Amino acid sequence: MLWEKKLEQWANTIRSSTAVPLRIELWNGQQVNFGHDLPQVIIRVPHVSALSCLLTPSMSNLGKAYVDGMIEVEGEPGAMISVGNLLARHTLKLEGKFSRITRKLSRSKTKDLAAVQSHYDVSNDFYRLWLDEHMVYSCAYFEKGNEDLATAQLKKIDHILLKIGLKPGDTLLDIGCGWGALVIRAAQKYGARCVGITLSENQEKLARERVAAAGVSEQVEIRLQDYRDVSGCFDKITSIGMFEHVGIENLPAYFAKMASLLADDGVAMNHGITSTDADNGETPYGNGEFIERYVFPHGELPHLGRALKSIQEGGLEVVDVENLRRHYARTCAIWTDNFERNATEIRRLAGDRRYRIWRVYLAGCAYAFDQDWISLYQVVCIKAGKNPSRLAWSRHYMYDKAVSVSGLAEANLSQ
């Protein structure tokens, strides 16, 4: 009876400050309602041992209980995440491990390889079930706001390639190339010669198959390679959803490596998730802890200011910055819907535990972008110390669909 009494006291405390569309159903048939209307989320507790995680409802504790099957949760993923964070906000103090803490992580090539493979080598079929047909696993670009995901992902790729002024014959390095969508588009539409690198064996294999199927094998090379081992000189460099894996302390060296590979008149683009905490803290209430434990080991998100400082320290000059937070919130929401629609097949393919992890993760990311806990920035760079006369006078070239690929270079680099 002690635990049930604590539960009722906790519920009374929350109800006195806010209505939460939640019902908790206990093993003994008792029900505890946290709101006045029909609940959007029902948490079923099969044993008294699971109550401790509810009474300290960080997203790490709640997520672990759900992943491990200690509790069952009924409701849409977005509602689950919203309710969980409401419980955390009205129960926990935003301090200590529940605040926006910064983790200190040790890194090496071996650790980075293991971290990337643990995330991306689930299986290609797993990702195929909820990504778009091009298998782009990064923020889409909803130019008008009503595009389907596949269209928005191609628009994102074109937006990037227009920003860097890609033209026929250019050499392009794509760091963290995923399943090859960007390099294929760069070769097919823009006539570029591309190298895409990844640490994921699954991505490398499928990317090579997709390159061959697209008929651009003569223009595109896919490598299983660490960015630190790349040599050569490239007219354009893209890094899409990669620098989150690098580590905050390693960012200056990362951008210095990019600068060393970039031609003197080249252009680079970093497209990555950032923390909105000025001290580079992770998302609060245990959300960051859940991601570190189950999804993205060794992932670190810098604040935009830290990222820009690191870019300058690496020998690059920032010439354009664009915030796409709203676009990533939409992207994650669509991924979440796709994931739910294919839940039966995902469970069969990946197992119930991984299904639960990714269900929480995808909906949690959408929530974090909506809450302005994290953001997404595209940053265009050139080598520092160069004459600015080759830069465009305005950003018009990024959006004018009438500009040809050959004319884009002139607009971007000769004005």
Catalytic residues: 365
For 296-309, letters b (16+ CB in 10 Å) and e give bbbbbbbbbebbbe
Token pair for 366:
């959408």
Residue 279 CB neighbour total at 10 angstroms: 10
DSSP summary character for residue 269: E
Residues 367, 374: Cα–Cα separation, whole Å: 10
| Inter-residue contact 192 to 171 (CB < 8 Å) | yes
Q: What is the C-alpha end-to-end distance of the chain, expressed in Å?
A: 76
Transcribe 335-373 into DSSP letters: HHHHHHHTHHHHHHHH-HHHHHHHHHHHHHHHHHHHTTS
Token pair for 234:
């490239």
3, 108, 130, 109: which is closest to 55 by C-alpha?
3
Output the CA torsion sign for 76, 78, 81, 85: negative
> Which residues are paired to 33 by β-bridges?
23
Token pair for 222:
């896919």
- Give the DSSP H or E segment for 379: strand 374-383
Between the CA of residue 362 and those of 6, 13, 184, 202, 264, what are the distances in Å? 32, 30, 27, 21, 40
Between the CA of residue 276 and those of 146, 281, 303, 377, what are the distances in Å? 27, 8, 6, 11
Coil vs helix vs strand at 66: helix
Phi first, then psi: what are they for 296, rounded to 5°?
-120, 75
Residue 155 CB neighbour total at 10 angstroms: 17
Residue 23 is which amino acid? R
Between the CA of residue 336 and those of 21, 85, 215, 288, 376, what are the distances in Å? 20, 18, 32, 18, 18
